[in-house]
Amino acid sequence: MLKLPSYVLVTPARNEVQFIELTIQSVVAQTMRPLKWVIVSDGSTDGTDEIVSRYAVAHEWIELLRMPERKERHFAGKANAFSAGKARLDGLPYEVVANLDADITFEKDYFTYLLGKLAVDPLLGVVGTPYVEKTGESFDYDFTSLDHVSGACQVFRRECYEGIGGYIPVKVGTIDCIAVITARMKGWKTRTFTGKVCQHHRKVGTAERGPIKANFYTGVMDYAMGNHPLWQLFRTAYQTTKKPIAARGLALGAGFLWAFLRQAERPVSREFIAFHRREQMERLKSKLARKRLPGDNTALPRGEAREAQ
């Protein structure tokens, strides 16, 4: 029988009263529970702490860690909260650490499934699954690849997470993308496995802004990541085909252009940008070549969006 690695969870949570109990119930129901789960309340003021405290009393492996209140909601806070939560786990003999959002749910064998992938391939550094929105919309792999692992739930081999220096506290966002790309840059494999999904109960990027504004900020984040301009042009054109027609892509492009004109700060190294752009150009060349194949009019073959049997 395959021996699964031991794991721990950290969940940064800021005013998640609407969904966090659903997430807790999903973890409590797991066939293989974590050694410990630290839920970091990042200055919550809405009753999140009370819900977590109730479950922490019933389950000794759940801990609530309270961070000081802060006015802004930004991703640097999330990275700092995760680091604070992980520090509470460093004395435990775990092999895997997962960053779990406070607004997702999943099947009872979700972590058993992902831990099994890590057990089979020692070169895997980060794994996860696709997420599905309440609307039925899922993460769009047409302009990325299954090497990307969604920030909704990123499961790291401990050696990988510590080797990349953890999450970089970047206010504008992209902390999950930076971590995954850095892992590949360090020689680790990263992979989304499609045999399971998690349900995401709040539309990505809309915690404090509407969908169009969220797409604008995605464009800003794309610039911060160092996206290749040609890649961004194709990405913007592709997004104009998504509902709401044109508005989504135009907002994305406007965000990138705004950041470019301001020469906004990029929180990543030149080495990172060069590696990231090289990957993007390789994927773009592959997609364009596939589109030229007779009878193939897709940007990404659907076979790549299914898990190999």
Range of the domain at 98: 7-200
Same domain, 108 and 33: yes
36 part of a folded domain: yes
Intra-chain end-to-end CA distance of the chain, in Å: 20
Last residue of a domain, one of 176, 200, 224: 200
Same domain, 43 and 83: yes
105 residue type, one letter: T
Same domain, 135 and 163: yes
- The pLDDT tens digits along the chain (309 residues) read 789 999 999 999 999 999 999 999 999 999 999 999 999 998 888 899 999 999 999 999 999 999 887 666 556 788 999 999 999 998 999 999 999 999 999 999 999 999 999 999 999 999 999 999 876 666 665 656 899 999 999 999 999 999 999 999 887 778 999 999 999 999 999 999 999 999 998 765 445 557 788 899 999 999 999 999 999 999 999 888 887 778 889 999 999 999 999 999 999 999 999 999 999 999 999 888 876 544 333 333 333 333 332
82 part of a folded domain: yes
307 part of a folded domain: no
Same domain, 176 and 216: no
Same domain, 186 and 267: no
Cross-sheet strand order for the sheet of 198-200: 104-105, 198-200, 131-133
Q: From its phi and psi, is residue 36 left (phi > 0), alpha (psi between -120 and 50) or beta?
A: beta
Same domain, 196 and 215: no
3-state secondary structure the chain: CCCCCCEEEEEEECCCCCCHHHHHHHHHCCCCCCCCEEEEEECCCCCHHHHHHHHHHHCCCEEEEEECCCCCCCHHHHHHHHHHHHHCCCCCCCCEEEEECCCEECCCCHHHHHHHHHHHCCCEEEEECCEEECCCCECCHHHCCCCCCCCCEEEEEHHHHHHCCCCCCCCCCCHHHHHHHHHHHCCCEEEECCCCCEEECCCCCCCCCCHHHHHHHHHHHHHHHCCCHHHHHHHHHHHCCCCCCCHHHHHHHHHHHHHHHHCCCCCCCHHHHHHHHHHHHHHHHHHHHHHCCCCCCCCCCHHHHCCCC
Same domain, 11 and 64: yes
Considering its fold, how many domains does the chain have in total?
A: 2
Same domain, 115 and 180: yes
CATH (domain of 190): 3.90.550.10
Same domain, 239 and 193: no
Look up the pTM and report it: 0.87
56 part of a folded domain: yes
Same domain, 67 and 179: yes
18 part of a folded domain: yes
154 part of a folded domain: yes
Last residue of a domain, one of 166, 200, 234: 200
Same domain, 25 and 91: yes
Same domain, 86 and 160: yes
Last residue of a domain, one of 139, 169, 200: 200
257 part of a folded domain: yes
50 part of a folded domain: yes
